[in-house]
Amino acid sequence: MKRIILILICCITALFACNRKGNDLVLSYFKETSKATNKYSYLWNKDLYAPILFVDTENVLLYANEPDDFGALKKEGEIYVGKLPDDLMVSNTSIEWNGKMWAMMYLPLPQDYYGRINLITHELFHVAQPALGFRGYNSDNIHLDEKDGRIYLRLELEALKKAIWESSESAIKEHLTNAIIFRKYRNTLYEGSKESENQLELSEGLAEYTGMMHAGRNEKEAKKHFEGRIDAFYHYPTFTRSFAYETIPVYGYLLQKKQKEWNKNINNTINLVDFFITAFNIQVPDDLEKAVEKITSMYDGKNIIDEETIREDNIEKIKAAYRDKFVKSPHLDFYFEQMSIGFDPTNIFSLETEGTVYPIIKVIDNWGVLEVEKGALMAPGWNKITVSLPFEIISDSVVGDGWTLKLNDGYKILKDELTGNYSVVKNN
């Protein structure tokens, strides 16, 4: 008996020590973030430090730098800790919860200081975004899943990579001009792409630029950071929602060497690329197609075109399988009422007019909680999401191929006998 009690005491002691160590680590993150936002408050004439939530999904805990308005978080030393609610949508994002707008991030955070501050202050920008006059846009840019869209984005990024490592102003300007030429040519190929790309860049591009600047890397570290990110970006399954993380930080970093506070001269209605064209005094040629033909070989164009041609063949097979699963075959539709959503923006697939497939996604709505691990089709207007047919319905728990649904009271799954499709509807 004594041995059992001793073991129990040791376990409890170890648990408290573990919690204390976790609390101390989280507190250190809050302190270094506060120091960074104060140091770089000149960037937006505002200290971006705000409510922060760190989410420990393994231990089902929330850590915060201040209390929520409803008392879910309890003070432990200099931080606040609470249980992770089942209905809280978890993601690296900004979120309104329990009376406040929070910057939310998964634990563990990046081990290196630069990556950690970059991430945290990126999300803090989103909290401050409305006050700074920028709205959050939700544009998929599905043309960047097309072969030519990907080719000319990659060529733009290759030109930016070369600009990063140049030391002379003339060489930097040459590569920046070529990057803009690839951008402008791409926009001529896809109607509306200039506007949709700019929308995401005003949101995620400016947020990532803010995070990068707050991280405070020196010149050599910044260049290595940009090159490493772009090279890693090429391996993403899709570019549609993630390209802005790579473009605006580079353009902005190069411009801040000439105009330290350039970002204070923009607003929610400006086109960022046109702004950079003017700021860098770039002359865009009239014949973009001819200019592209002339400069493509400077940026490994042949290999890029060959790689994207092979990818297109492979991706079409994946899209055909998704179309069969979510469009042609009987399926289950969820219509949104008050939706909140979390997903990985690096692996989505466009099905053009039919919508976009999100391989991993979580949706919380009035009808319940849907968690998907093998794909769901988001409608173009973001008014519904589609999964494969359910194969098990037990009370409020519904299971399908790679997805689960916790169905709330007041809702049921109804079959349309004419089409064979199912939908979640309210009880009569």
DSSP calls for 38-78: HHTGGGTTS-----EEEEETTTTEEEESS--TTS-SEEETT
Residue 106 pLDDT level (bands cut at 50, 70, 90): very high
What values do phi and psi take at 268, rounded to 5?
-70, -15
Mean pLDDT across 339-346: 84
The conformation of residue 372, written as its DSSP 8-state character, comes to: E
- Check the CA dihedral 286-290-293-298 and report its sign: negative
- In percent, the amount of the chain with pLDDT more than 90 equals 83
pTM equals 0.85
Mean pLDDT across 343-356: 84
Contact 299, 159 (CB under 8 A): yes
More confident residue, 248 or 393: 248
Angle between helices 244-256 and 219-233 (to 10 degrees): 160
Per-residue tokens: 25: 């680590």
Per-residue tokens: 338: 């008050």
The pLDDT value recorded for residue 124 is 98
Own/partner long-range contacts of 413-420 (Cβ < 8 Å, ≥24 apart): 413/332, 419/330, 420/330
- Residue for token digits 């075959």? 329
Mean pLDDT across 73-84: 97
CA distance 55 to 214: 22
CA distance 102 to 91: 11
Residues in the chain: 428
Per-residue tokens: 391: 């194969």
Residue 79 pLDDT level (bands cut at 50, 70, 90): very high
Q: Round the average pLDDT of the chain to a whole number and report it.
A: 93
CA distance 122 to 208: 5
pLDDT digits (tens, 9 = 90+) for 280-299: 999 999 999 999 999 999 99
Strand partners, 398: 393, 405
Say if residue 2's pLDDT is above 70. Answer: no
The pLDDT value recorded for residue 350 is 84
- Check the CA dihedral 275-281-282-283 and report its sign: positive
Contact 211, 117 (CB under 8 A): yes
Contact 122, 210 (CB under 8 A): yes
When mean pLDDT is compared across 97-111, 135-149, 380-394, 405-419, the lowest value belongs to: 135-149
CA distance 373 to 362: 9
The pLDDT value recorded for residue 19 is 59
